[in-house]
Amino acid sequence: MQKQGAKKQTVKMLIAMAAAVVCGVGVITLRESLLAAGNTQAWNAINNLLFADISAAGNEKAVGLFYLIGQLFVKVLQLVIVPMVFTSIVLAMLRISDSRKLGRISSKTIGLFLLTTVSSIALAAIVGTAAYNLGVFRSTALDMAVSEGATGSNPLMIILNAVPNNFVSALSNNGGVLAIVVTAVVVGLAANALGEKVTVLPKLCEEISEIINKVLGFVVDRFGPAAIFCLITRTCAAYGVSHLRPAIAYMLLTVALLLFVLFFGYALVVKLTTGLNPLPFVKKIGKVALFGFSTSSSAATLPLNLRTATEELGVREEIASFVLPLGMTVNMDGTAIMQVIATIFIAGCAGYSLNLPTLILIGVLAIIASVGTPAAPGAGAVILFTILSGVGFNNELTLMAYSLILAINRPIEMLVTALNVVGDSACAMAVAKSENALDETIYRS
C-alpha cells in the first residue's frame, strides 16, 4: 500500500510539473500576443489576478492567486524546519548513545558513515562546481532581476553564531541552522549522560517527530501537486521556460551522480574494506535498492535490508541489527549529494558566487543537515532550506529556484533513499569483516 502511494504521488508530481510547463508556455504566448497588440492593460489585469508578487511595491491591490498558493505551501514547509532539525538531532544523539555498549564496533560504524558521507559530499562538490563554472546552472532570469547576495562578513563569525546566547532565540530563526544544531547536540548529549533520569524528553521528541512527519505527509501528498503547478506556472510566466533549463540540468546531473555512486561507489567500498568480489553484493542488494526506491522510506526498507544482510550477504545478526538501524538515522550519503548539488544549482540560478570557504561551509552544513533529515516525504528538500539560509542565499531568485527543487525532487529523493539503504549495507559488511563476523561462504553463494 505504501509502495503504491509513493508511486501515485510521484506520478502526480510529474503530471503537475508537465502541466505547469505547458500552461506556462501558454501564458508566455498570451503575454507576448497581448503586448504585441498593445493590450498592456489586459495583460496587467491577468498578471495582477494570477501571478503578481503581492509583497512587492506597487502590487498593493494585486491578488496574485498563483503566488499566494505557492508561498503558502513553501511557508508551511518552512514552519516545520526548526522542530524537525531539533528533534531529529536530539533523537540521533540518543540513539548513538546506545552504541557505547558495542564499544569498538560503534567507533568503526560511525567512522565509516562519516567517511562515506564526506567522500560523497566531496564528489558532489567537485561535479557541481564544474557544472557551475561551465554555466550549466545559470538562468536567463539573472538578466531580469537584481541579485541581492549576503553581506560580507568575517568567516569566523560562523563559529560565534553557532553558539547561541539564548535558548528560545536559537529555536526561533530558520536561518540560524548551526545554532539550532549546536543546541540540539548539547541537549542530546546531556540527555545521554543522564541516562534513565531523562524519560520525558525522548518521548516528547519522538512524538513531535511523528507529528511533523504526519504534517509533512499531509501537506505534500494533498497540496504538493497543486502548489507545484502554481509555482512552476508562475515561474514560466515571470521568467520564461528557459528558466527551467538549469533545473533539468540539475535533475540529470544529480541522477547521474547518484547512479554512479549506487552502482560503482559502494561496490568499491566493499572491495576495499573486505577484499571480496563486489559483484555478489551488487546482485543481492538490488532488491533492497528497488524497495527503497519504490517506498522512498529507509524505515520501511529496514526489515528487508536486515534480512538480506544476514541471510544473503553473510553479516552476523548482532552486527547487522546495530549498523543498519543506526545507518537509517545518521548515514545519508544520497541526501548529502542531493543537497550539495541543489545548493550549487541554486547559487547558479540566483547569481551567487562560489569560493572555497563557501563550498566548505556547504559541505559542513550538508553533513549536519543529512544527519538531521528524518524519513518523511519531502524532508530532504525541506531541510535543504537550512543550508541555503546558512550560506546566506536568500534573494527572490533563490526562492524561485528552491521552488523548482520542490517540484522535481520527488523522483530524485526516491533514488536518494535507494542510495542510503545500500550504503548502510556496504558499511555493515565492512564492519562485519573487521570483526570476523562475515560469513564469506554465504556471501559467495
Q: What pLDDT, on the 0 to 100 scale, is given for residue 147? A: 39
Average pLDDT over residues 180-190: 82
Top pLDDT among 400 and 324 is at 324
Q: Kindly list the domain boundaries of the chain, sorted by start residue.
A: 2-444
Top pLDDT among 12 and 435 is at 435
Q: What is the pLDDT of residues 336-365, one digit of tens each?
A: 898 899 889 888 888 888 888 888 888 888
pLDDT band at 380 (very low <50, low <70, confident <90, very high): low
Q: What pLDDT, on the 0 to 100 scale, is given for residue 422? A: 93
Q: Give the amino acid at 74.
A: V
* pLDDT at residue 99 greater than cutoff 60: no
Q: What pLDDT, on the 0 to 100 scale, is given for residue 412? A: 83
Please give the Cα distance from 60 to 54 (Å, whole number): 6
Decide if 295 contacts 301 (C-beta within 8 A).
yes
Q: What pLDDT, on the 0 to 100 scale, is given for residue 267? A: 93
* pLDDT at residue 329 greater than cutoff 90: no
Q: Give the amino acid at 284.
A: K
* pLDDT at residue 161 greater than cutoff 50: yes
* pLDDT at residue 266 greater than cutoff 90: yes
* pLDDT at residue 249 greater than cutoff 80: yes
Top pLDDT among 374 and 105 is at 105
Output the average pLDDT for the chain.
79
pLDDT band at 375 (very low <50, low <70, confident <90, very high): low
Q: What is the pLDDT of residues 37-87, one digit of tens each?
A: 888 888 888 888 888 878 777 778 888 888 888 888 877 777 777 787 788
Q: What is the pLDDT of residues 206-227, one digit of tens each?
A: 898 888 878 877 877 788 788 8
Average pLDDT over residues 130-158: 58
Top pLDDT among 8 and 393 is at 393
Q: Give the amino acid at 213.
A: N
Top pLDDT among 9 and 94 is at 94
**pTM attached to this predicted model:** 0.67
* Cell representation of residue 28: 508566455
Please give the Cα distance from 367 to 246 (Å, whole number): 25
Q: What pLDDT, on the 0 to 100 scale, is given for residue 409? A: 73
Q: What pLDDT, on the 0 to 100 scale, is given for residue 154? A: 47
Q: What is the pLDDT of residues 267-317, one digit of tens each?
A: 999 999 999 999 999 988 988 888 787 666 777 788 788 888 988 899 988
Q: Which fold has domain 2-444?
A: Proton glutamate symport protein (1.10.3860)
Q: What pLDDT, on the 0 to 100 scale, is given for residue 123? A: 93
- Share above pLDDT 90 across residues of the chain, in percent, rounded to a whole number: 15
Length of the chain: 445
Top pLDDT among 205 and 156 is at 205
SS3 sequence of the chain = CHHHHHHHHHHHHHHHHHHHHHHHHHHHHHHHHHHHCCCHHHHHHHHHHHCCCCCCCCCCCCCCHHHHHHHHHHHHHHHCHHHHHHHHHHHHHHHHHHHHHHCHHHHHHHHHHHHHHHHHHHHHHHHHHHHHHCCCCCCHHHHCCCCCCCCCCCCCHHHHHHCCCCHHHHCCCCCCHHHHHHHHHHHHHHHHHHHHHCCHHHHHHHHHHHHHHHHHHHHHHHHHHHHHHHHHHHHHHHHCHHHHHHHHHHHHHHHHHHHHHHHHHHHHHHHHHHCCCCHHHHHHHHHHHHHHHHHCCHHHHHHHHHHHHHHCCCECHHHHHHHHHHHHHHCCHHHHHHHHHHHHHHHHHHCCCCCHHHHHHHHHHHHHHHHCCCCCCCHHHHHHHHHHHHHCCCCHHHHHHHHHHHHHHHHHHHHHHHHHHHHHHHHHHHHHHHCCCECHHHHHC
Q: What is the pLDDT of residues 111-120, one digit of tens each?
A: 898 899 999 9
Q: What pLDDT, on the 0 to 100 scale, is given for residue 2? A: 47
* Cell representation of residue 278: 563486489
Please give the Cα distance from 308 to 301 (Å, whole number): 11
* pLDDT at residue 326 greater than cutoff 80: no
Average pLDDT over residues 135-146: 57
Q: What pLDDT, on the 0 to 100 scale, is given for residue 253? A: 92
* Cell representation of residue 382: 525541506
